Amino acid sequence: MLPSRTHKSRAITAQRVALLSIAVSAGLAVSKLIVGWLAGSQAVMADGFESSADVIASSLVLFGLSVAARPPDENHPYGHGRVEMLSGLGVGVMLAAAGAAIAVHAVEHAGSGVPPRAFGVWPLLVSIALKSILSTTKFHFGRRTGSAALIADGWNDTVDLVSGTAALAALGLTLYDPVRFLHADRYGAVVVGAIVVFTGIRVVRETSLQLIDTMPDDDLMSRIRAVALEVPGVRGVEKCFARKTGFQYHVDLHLEVDPEISVRESHDIATAVRIRLRESLDFIADVLVHVEPAPL
């Protein structure tokens, strides 16, 4: 396995990003709910409820990252990385549920005829700016650390950008012409909820694919094969499988070697391939090598 220091460093980085997200989302949720209520804006309050769900989602991500950082043990030889994936799945489910609740709440209150007040736009503007930074940060560190949960949370913030923009546009229409667009603010809240539901379903799909051991993309598999073929004594790679178990991948490799060499020599080649792959490709946690005779 890669040095525990590298694995731990990735986990700590992802945890810090998740903690920052919790603090920012909590502040935005409180401000949008209070200002939305004072301004009488359903769209702003809907976005505030979505930010409240972000706090819970990021807390779930933080929990998953903390457990995933634990080293392998006797009962978990592949590590605890799947917990991190499960937390990403939980984020997707929570997003879909929160979006449905937001849309239903907005529909139930769509009949109110009181126009909102203009100061309701300020928390939305601040939210759009902060969530732009957060989403970019999470995607960057999520891909850098290989964290499915952090990437899922990045999509969560991307939803906030879209939903915040939709809420701002809806509120703006109502403020621009309260007579013609009186209910735009309320229907904007419904749009926010629908966007959140759609993104939640997408996150659930992506994390589920990882949980059922879907193979990585062809480029990543080609890199694994290429590095293995660099080792002296390797005549070919018959089979190559990889599955994600958290931040990294576990690889199953079937090597072809000279059928006339000894078992010890075959073992030495397999060991050299295992070491080379782990040292050259930081997304690999470990490699199980099976040696086969090359065709004559």
CATH of the domain at 242: 3.30.70.1350
Shared domain for 233 and 203, answered yes or no, is no
Question: What six digits make up the tokens of 244?
Answer: 């994600």
Tell me which residue range forms the domain holding 289.
Answer: 218-293
Shared domain for 199 and 227, answered yes or no, is no
pLDDT at 200: 81
* Residues pairing with 14 in the sheet: none
Q: How far apart are CA 99 and CA 92, in angstroms?
A: 11
* Residues pairing with 243 in the sheet: 250
Shared domain for 123 and 200, answered yes or no, is yes
Strand 284-293: give its sheet, edge to edge: 236-244, 249-257, 284-293
Q: Is the dihedral of CA 135, 136, 137, 141 positive or negative?
A: positive
Split the chain (296 residues) into runs of 10 and give each run's mean pLDDT.
Answer: 52 75 84 82 74 76 74 75 78 81 70 66 83 85 74 77 77 74 71 79 82 81 90 88 81 89 90 90 85 82
Model confidence pTM above 0.85: no
Shared domain for 153 and 248, answered yes or no, is no
pLDDT at 98: 78
Last residue of a domain, one of 211, 244, 275: 211
- CA 3: distance to chain centroid? 24
Shared domain for 163 and 222, answered yes or no, is no
Beta strands at 236-244 and 249-257: parallel, antiparallel or unpaired: antiparallel
Angle 123-128-129 (CA atoms, 0-180°, nearest 5)? 100
pLDDT at 4: 45
Last residue of a domain, one of 169, 186, 211: 211
CB-based contact 266:99 (threshold 8 Å):
no
pLDDT at 88: 78
pLDDT at 1: 41
Shared domain for 189 and 235, answered yes or no, is no
pLDDT at 6: 54
Shared domain for 207 and 222, answered yes or no, is no
